[in-house]
Homo-oligomer: A and B are copies of this chain.
Amino acid sequence: MLGARDVVPDSSTADILVAAADCFMERGYSATSVDDVARRLGATKGRIYHHFPSKSALFAGVFQFGMDRIFDAVEPYRNQPGPAVERWKRIAFVHTKRMMKSKTLARVVWEGVEMHLRGATTPEQRLVLDGLVKYRNSYSDIFRETIVQAREEGDFNFEDPAITVQSMFMALNSPIFWYVPRPGEDDEHMYAVVRQIVTFAYRGLGGKGELDL
């Protein structure tokens, strides 16, 4: 697998990644200084530069960390037998759930993809980002193959897979922008939100009947 889980970060490195993810989410990549991340850790730059050679490498680390966790969620279901539409229901559900539960990491991954699409980066940054985005594209391929197969099996109905998978992902990813967990909110309420989002995407893809989740 492309760059997946090559290195498991040790405890201190993991703390840095989490703090960095928080900062990147709150202010965005370029508005976040390395000192900001250090401050959040109650530490100084020295600690961060001991583990990461540069700010962009730190960002790449968070991206990788985030993508790993997203992959983790879907991994158990991606190769299950049965009709493709049933597989889609499961991976769409756990994907969206993960978007909400790991909102911070998911948004950093989002910004990474955005940065790549912009293209306005240094050649060295670009090389790293290229690899990461390939990793992320291999993830979206899982969904693309699944919905195409489901269409062949007569359960979905759409024209261009490229366009459709983009619309689908945008809908499934939407909560990373607006979802705010209420204090004392139980999982059941969160699942209700997930269900509505997945239902929207399911219908959008041309799925028939009700979504039984």
Interface of A with B (CB < 8 Å)? 25-31, 114, 117-120, 158-160, 163-164, 166-171, 173-175, 177-178, 193, 196-197, 199-201, 203-206
Residues of chain B lying within 8 A (CB to CB) of residue A27? 30, 118, 120
Cβ–Cβ < 8 Å partners of A163 in chain B:
193, 196-197
Copies of this chain, whole number: 2
Please name all residues of chain B whose beta carbon is closer than 8 Å to the beta carbon of A120 when the two chains form the complex.
Answer: 26-27, 31
A117 near B177 with CB under 8 A, answer yes
Instruction: Taking A167-B174, A204-B204 as given, write out 17 further A-B residue pairs in contact, using a Cβ cutoff of 8 Å, ordered by the A residue number.
Output: A25-B118, A26-B119, A27-B118, A27-B120, A30-B31, A158-B200, A160-B193, A163-B196, A166-B174, A166-B178, A167-B171, A167-B196, A167-B201, A168-B200, A171-B204, A200-B204, A203-B206
Please indicate the chain B residues that have their CB under 8 angstroms from the CB of A31 in the complex. Answer: 29-30, 120
Does A196 contact B28, Cβ atoms closer than 8 Å?
no
Task: Indicate the member of A159, A164, A200 with the most B CB atoms within 10 Å.
Answer: A200
CB distance from A140 to the nearest CB of B (A): 11
Residues on the B chain within 8 Å of A201, using CB: 167, 204
Q: Which 9 A-B pairs have the closest CB atoms?
A: A204-B204, A30-B31, A200-B204, A170-B170, A170-B174, A167-B200, A167-B171, A26-B120, A30-B30
